[in-house]
Amino acid sequence: MARAEGAYLGLAVGDALGATVEFMTPREIAHHHGTHRDIRGGGWLKLRRGQVTDDTGMALALGDSMLRSGRVDPVDIADAFSDWMRTKPVDIGNTVRRGIVHYRSTGECRVPPSEHDAGNGACMRCLPVALGYLGAGPETLAQANRRQAHVTHNNPVADAGTLTVLKMVQAALLGEGPTALRALADDLAQRHRAYRFDRRRMENPSAYLGDTLKAVFQSLFATDDFESALVDVINRGGDADTTGAILGMIAGALYGRDAIPERWVSTLEKDTRRRCLTQARSLITLIPSLRAAL
Ligand code: MN
Ligand code: MN
């Protein structure tokens, strides 16, 4: 439970911390912030201090849908994403917007396969699937992920990357350490060259999932505590709220809730913190019904 709560709070603090420097280069970050290490809002979205963005917002929408329907139901998820878009979120990715508009106009909760859908939008929101399908077999997990992902992103390379993130979170939830997580990342890199992270340092990562996960893996495996890992990935700039969110969920599961600095958790907006903790606890208890319900 502490690891599940850590994963959810890690996602939200990573999003809130990274959003301030999203789309900046490491050089610009160093110039304006030195090392960026405190949640202070601002950035190109002009956020309130402690406010999160679409990464956390979509994960919470997906989690609400799973709790409501007791499974990963693509129609219910598409409705949840559509409702979320109606709340006028502070940011929304182009591929996500296109997928939701596709659902509204056709009623189809699955976009056609596209080589352009390898962005990080389906990965940044995947956390509820990791918790809800803890202990499920690999094919059930993969299928649950494809159902949520393909509402907006239908691409096999992105599916493979997101599935690996889900497996890493699950391994960490079950008490595995960095060695087991590294083996999962290495296996992904071996199967898809887009994810080879053992080469050049990834700075200014784009919203392409290959870039995003290279930065996340490099920061995760170069550090040994939550704060160092998150500060390292955020200060690479680029799609920093999303690298922060993905690293935050993995590292939060790996190191547990108590490893997340209290100054970050207490700065999160109250409603966000409450929803994260409620979903973490509820999704873990939903496990048996979810496993049976795909
Ligand atoms: Mn965002
Ligand atoms: Mn982003």
Under a CB-based contact definition with an 8 Å cutoff, are residues 212 and 123 in contact? yes
Distance 57 CA to ligand 2 centre (A): 12
Minimum-distance ligand to the CA of 56?
1
Q: How would DSSP label each residue in 117-160?
A: --BSTTTTT-HHHHHHTTT--HHHHHHHHHHHHTTT---HHHHH
CB 108 within 8 A of CB 100: no
- Say how many Å lie between the CA of residue 165 and the centre of ligand 1: 18
- C-beta separation of 274 from 44 below 8 A: no
Tokens read off for 271? 């409603």
- How many other CB atoms are there within 10 angstroms of residue 163's CB atom? 22
For residue 42, list its beta bridge partners.
47
Tell me if 208 sits within 8 A of 221, measured CB to CB.
Answer: no
What local confidence, expressed as pLDDT, does residue 116 receive? Answer: 85
Which ligand is in closest contact with the Cα of 45?
Answer: 1
Q: Considering every ligand atom shown, identify the ligand nearest to the alpha carbon of residue 15 and give its number.
A: 1
Question: Residue 119 — φ and ψ, nearest 5°?
Answer: -75, 175
pLDDT of residue 149: 98
DSSP H stretches of helix in the chain: 2-19, 26-33, 54-69, 74-86, 94-106, 127-132, 138-149, 156-173, 178-191, 209-221, 226-234, 240-255, 262-265, 270-293
- Quote the pLDDT of residue 66: 95
Token couple for 102 = 């596709």
What's the pLDDT at 292?
54
Q: Which ligand is nearest to the CA of 55?
A: 1
Give per-10-residue mean pLDDT for the chain (294 aa). 97 98 98 97 97 98 95 96 97 96 97 93 98 92 97 98 98 97 98 96 97 98 98 98 98 98 98 98 76 56
What's the CA-to-centroid distance between 278 and ligand 1, angstroms? 22
Please give the distance, rounded to the nearest whole angstrom, from the Cα atom of residue 3 to the centre of ligand 1.
23
| Amino acid 289: pLDDT | 58
* Residues 102, 252: Cα–Cα separation, whole Å: 34
Domains of the chain, start order: 2-290 (1.10.4080.10)
The rounded Å distance from CA 243 to ligand 1 centre is 10
Give the integer Cα–Cα distance in Å for 90 and 47. Answer: 8
CA of residue 137 to ligand 2 center, whole Å = 30
pLDDT value of position 285: 82
* DSSP-based three-state secondary structure for 194: helix
